[in-house]
Structure 1
Amino acid sequence: MGINQVEPSAIREKWLNRYTWAWASWDWGQAAINAVMITFVFTVYLTSELFGDTDHASLVLSQALAVGGLAIALLVPVTGLRADVAGRRKLWIVVNTLILVVICAACFFVYPDPSYLWFGAILIAGMSVVGEFAGVNYNAVLNQISTKATVGKVSGFGWGMGYVGGILALALVLFLFVQPIVEWPGANTDESLNLRWVAILSAAWCLLFALPLFFVIPEAPPSTSKKIPLVQTYKVLFNNIKELWRNDRNLLFFLCSSAVFRDGLAAIFTFGGVIAAGTFGFELTEVIIFAIVGNVVAALGAVLGGRIDDWAGPKAVIVGSLIGLLVAGAGVFFSPKATGFWIFGLLLCLFVGPAQAASRSYLSRLIPEGREGELFGLYATTGRAVSFLAPALFAGAIAIATPLVASGEAQRYGILGILVVLALGLLLLLPIRAPKKAA
């Protein structure tokens, strides 16, 4: 029996089943790309003094990510729609995951030399783009393996698996490559071989834990028998948005505001490790330890935020979290020492989890009956439609500060660019009508 034939009551009674495990396993594997490669380890290596001036390296990385974000904005909004129409959702998860694994493994060839800086930055941006292509269809699978009564638990389980997968991947990197507990060839530091081997580990981790989804989750049926040409797909997308403008502007405004503040949330993780190393002088070992602790704090924050969500409503959780993020971000900016980064950086992690979880809960309460798949897909795609914004403002703030401050201090001002994005998302959210609280 295909998964789409499972009775809703059976899914509700046994929500933690082989489909849920297979689906969440992909998020576990993807965590190695996000936590190890894009956030806390490889980007720290890429923006270190091995590649020249650290401010310049940070600027190059943020520029590459901004271009990648623009590509996401132009292409990702239609990829999920086309996969739904053609019934090839899982196919494109498989294809994009394999491409992601290849790009990740190619980072092994980013040698510690300034001439390899742009090569490394382009690979990181490529992983960001391809990972989002896969992620759009991955998020859409949620509606295949859950009902409205279980979607929150299933979604939260996947998110939790991602956090735990990231923690374990970071621990492996720390104890195998950075501070090895046993001597072995992969820990050799000549030409940063140990850090380049991290790319191979991350690629293998991603592929290994994606396999359950490849073989357990069935392909979704096509939503229509008609094929839609690429240009026509954009027309369909814009028609859907116009329909929301006419009939449910509150929902459309939430999609827009959440796209902005979620880009700020993503930037906190993207540039957190870079700022820890470049601005506060963290060694790579300290960055990884901070990342592990930060992931634990974020997971706890998400659980606590979910409980407050049921009591006070998701808008209150998001608004409170964004205000907390602005205060904690300002604390990081004004902190002169690493101790301040530990305190305010962990506060950032504490508020990120609730903001992410409550954002999904907010949308689930706004969706009209029978339109869950369409609007969760639009939520996933619009979430990346402005993904160039935070990297661009991070880069712009550094570029403006570079001639005005001492060498090595400009990177700190990139924090202000991220805070501007979070503040803009908060201002856009405030006038939106709050959904009803959970019963």
Structure 2
Amino acid sequence: MITANGYYASMGINQLPATEPTREKWLNKYTWAWASWDWGQAAINAVMITFVFTVYLTSELFGDKDHASLVLSQALAIAGVCIALLVPVTGLRSDAAGRRKLWIMVNTLLLVLICAACFFVFPDPSYLWFGALLIAAMSVASEFAGVNYNAVLNQISTPATVGKVSGFGWGMGYVGGILALALVLFGFVQPIVDWPGASTENGLNIRLVALFSAAWCLIFALPLFFVIPETPAASSEKIPLKSSYVVLFRRIRDLWNEDRNLIFFLLSSAVFRDGLAAIFTFGGVIAAGTFGFKLSEVIIFAIVGNVVAALGAVVGGRIDDWLGPKAVILGSLVGLLIAGAGVFFSPEASGFWIFGLLLCLFVGPAQAAARSYLSRLIPAGREGELFGLYATTGRAVSFLAPALFSLAIAIATPLVASGQAQRYGILGILLVLLMGLLLLLPIRTPKQVNAS
């Protein structure tokens, strides 16, 4: 684990003496540059994957809405398999080669290109699978970039500040999402100025949103590209591609012998993080399909929800450094279960507003605390490898929430009125969150370094 005099010092950041760890200066140009990537990524997560493009893709423009939801969940399950097979090896190899930033850059640029390709998803059922596969491909590229991005957390924080820094990154992502969604709403969906790009003919305004999101992602990734230094190689050992899985499994075996608590955390977090991801993936779809939100209403809800989520992430990060990440995750999961049940039982849109915002409040702290929990446990020089396993264990069960979401819809379809089956998908997500909560209970909390 990095100390205040470790990587921080190598980047020229002045640290206070070790006797005053609670006064470390954690908000600096490296933190801002790192969090700026999250700000840019918000256009992919909030606009494309959650609240705008997937709502467009699962609308009546592409045929039956329930069928479109099933297609989207199936495409995301395919993406999960690809990530599970490939991500840990890429993290392992970037650690060994010292090319962490390079791979953030490569995968971010790939993500931008895939996002821009969504411009060619025309509003016709024949384009449904094409659009769903592009969303799935964005998910893969985002995860590849995110593994090395998360690994940078230990470079720019110390044990006393990792919770705050992680929460700050998530908070910046939410704020970036707020601004991106506001620009989409007032520039493309309900334009305050009449211009050709706001035309709804052939879905032009939503297809242009894909180009906007690609540009947003690229522009705000640039500070990380230029400010964060490249990592040195962890060792002189060269790992041939064909041997990567052999090395990976050997290290997993060693980790099992050295720190089973970390292995158990990776497994338990895989389940609850899949539930968290499903909330984002299907939140906008449920708002539109179950509660009848228009696209503009979905975006307004998303803007307010991101404000709430940003506050939750920042406050949760401070509680993390005070009480520990496990307490934050458990409290958040309980809150999510209560709020999710409220959404399911709400007969009207007003209930979705109330309980949906409660969901937003608890998602951010759970995500940030899960990342900081792992950061506290990772041996120095193995960040990419273990965040790769973090992604892989998550993606190894990433079929779970989409599968239970679609299974619940399929079971409910012949039993309820037409157009109401989607509501029952919420129960599938809640079941995943409950399983994650139960699996986390026996996991030990990592040692804390209190910070103000």
Regarding TM over 0.5, the answer is yes
Structure 1 residues 87 and 414: alpha-carbon distance in aligned structure 2, compared to 1, 3 A threshold: same
Alignment of 1:230-309 (within 5 A): 230-309=241-320
Corresponding position of 1:84: 95
Range with greater deviation from structure 2 (151-160 or 259-268): 151-160
2:352 is the alignment partner of 1:347: no
Q: Partner amino acid for 2:248?
A: L
Is 1:68–1:388's contact at 8 Å kept on the other side of the alignment? no
Decide whether aligned partners of structure 1 residues 102 and 376 sit closer, same or farther in structure 2, where only a CA change above 3 A counts: closer
Tell whether the 8 Å contact from 1:139 to 1:380 is kept in structure 2 after alignment.
Answer: no
Query: In the TM superposition, what is the alpha-carbon distance from 1:89 to its structure 2 partner?
Result: 1.5
Q: Which moved more, 1:371-380 or 1:267-276?
A: 371-380
Measure the CA separation in 2 of the matches of 1:418 and 1:97: 29
Structure 1 runs (4+) greater than 6 angstroms displaced: 368-373
Q: Which residue of 2 aligns with 1:61?
A: 72
Instruction: Answer whether contact 2:101 2:229 (CA < 8 A) is retained.
Output: yes
* CA distance in structure 1 between the aligned counterparts of 2:158 and 2:328, rounded to whole angstroms: 24
Equivalent residues of 1:303, 1:354 under 8 A apart: yes
Q: How does 1:199-238 map to 2 (within 5 A)?
A: 199-238=210-249
**For the structure 1 residues 14 and 301, does the alpha-carbon distance in structure 2 shift closer, same or farther, using more than 3 Å as the test?**
closer
Q: Which residue in 1 is equivalent to 2:328?
A: 317
Q: Distance in 2 between matches of 1:118 and 1:369?
A: 42
CA contact (8 A) 1:72 1:387 kept: no
Is 1:399 matched up with 2:410? yes
Kindly report the root-mean-square deviation, in angstroms, between the aligned alpha carbons of the 2 structures. Answer: 2.3
Give the secondary-structure state (helix, strand or coil) at the position aligned to 2:27: coil
SS in 2 for 1:257: helix
Q: How high is the TM-score relative to the length of structure 1?
A: 0.93
Q: Distance in 1 between matches of 2:171 and 2:124?
A: 37
1:423 is aligned with what amino acid? L
Counterpart of 1:5, as a letter, is S
What's the offset of the Cα at 1:99?
1.1
TM-score, L = length of structure 2: 0.91
User: Quick check: 371-380 or 141-150, which moved more?
Assistant: 371-380
Gaps of at least 5 residues in structure 2 are 1-6, 17-22
Alignment partner of 2:346 out of 331, 335, 343: 335
Q: Which residue of 1 aligns with 2:11?
A: 6
Q: CA distance change for structure 1 residues 347 and 138 in 2, over 3 Å: closer, same or farther?
A: same
Shift of 1:320: 2.1
**C-alpha deviation, 1:214, in angstroms:** 1.9
Are the equivalent residues in 1 in contact too, given 2:39–2:176 (CA < 8 A)?
Answer: yes
Instruction: Answer with 208-217 or 147-156: which moved more.
Output: 147-156
For residues 118 and 187 of structure 2, what CA distance do their matches in structure 1 show? 18
Q: CA deviation at 1:317?
A: 2.5
Give the C-alpha shift of residue 155 in structure 1. 2.5
Query: Does structure 2 retain, via aligned residues, the 8 Å contact 1:44–1:273?
Result: yes
Query: What CA distance in whole angstroms lies between the structure 1 residues aligned with 2:333 and 2:370?
Result: 11
**Structure 2 residue aligned with 1:51, among 59, 62, 81?**
62
Equivalence for 1:70: 81
State, as a whole percentage, how many aligned pairs show the same letter.
Answer: 83
From the superposition, tell whether residues 310 and 18 of structure 1 become closer, same or farther in structure 2 (CA, over 3 Å).
closer
User: Which stretch shifts more, 378-387 or 261-270?
Assistant: 378-387
User: What is the DSSP-based 3-state SS (H/G/I as helix, E as strand, rest coil) of the residue aligned with 2:396?
Assistant: coil
- Give me the whole-angstrom Cα distance separating, in 2, the residues matched to 1:153 and 1:304: 8
Aligned to 2:430: 419
Task: Provide Cα deviations, 1:62-96, integer angstroms capped at 9, x if missing partner.
Answer: 11011111111111121111111122212211111
2:181 is aligned with 1:170:
yes
Letter in 2 for 1:193: L
Residue 164 of structure 1 deviates from its aligned partner by 0.8
Q: CA deviation at 1:399?
A: 2.3
1:362 counterpart = 2:373: yes
**Aligned with residue 107 of structure 2, among 83, 96, 106:** 96
- Deviation of the 1:363 alpha carbon: 3.4
Greater mean alpha carbon deviation, residues 306-315 or residues 184-193: 306-315
Distance 2:350 2:27 in 1: 41
Contact 1:143 1:373 in 2 (8 A): no
Cα gap change, 1:226 to 1:290, in 2 (>3 Å): same
* Runs of at least 5 residues in structure 1 that lack an aligned partner in the other structure: none
Q: Whole-Å Cα distance in 2 between the matches of residues 3 and 318 of structure 1?
A: 28
Instruction: Evaluate the alpha carbon distance shift between residue 319 and residue 16 of structure 1 in structure 2; reply closer, same or farther with a 3 A threshold.
Output: closer
Return closer, same or farther for 1:317/1:142 CA change in 2, 3 Å cut-off: closer
In structure 2, do the counterparts of structure 1 residues 9 and 377 end up closer, same or farther at CA, with 3 Å as the change threshold?
A: farther
Deviation per CA, 1:371-397, whole angstroms, max 9, x where unpaired?
Answer: 767645543543433223212221222
Segment drifting more, 85-94 vs 165-174? 85-94
Supply the AA of the counterpart residue of 1:218. P
Looking at structure 1, the residues matched to 98 and 132 of structure 2 have their Cα atoms a distance apart, in angstroms, of 34
Q: Aligned match of 1:187 in 198, 221, 224?
A: 198
CA change 1:8–1:348 in 2 (3 A) is same
Question: How far did residue 157 of structure 1 move?
Answer: 2.4
* 1:15 match: secondary structure: coil
User: Structure 1 residues 381, 142: closer, same or farther in 2, change over 3 A?
Assistant: farther
Cα gap change, 1:321 to 1:152, in 2 (>3 Å)? closer
Go from structure 1 to structure 2 and tell me whether the alpha carbon gap of 1:71 and 1:380 turns closer, same or farther (over 3 Å shift). Answer: closer
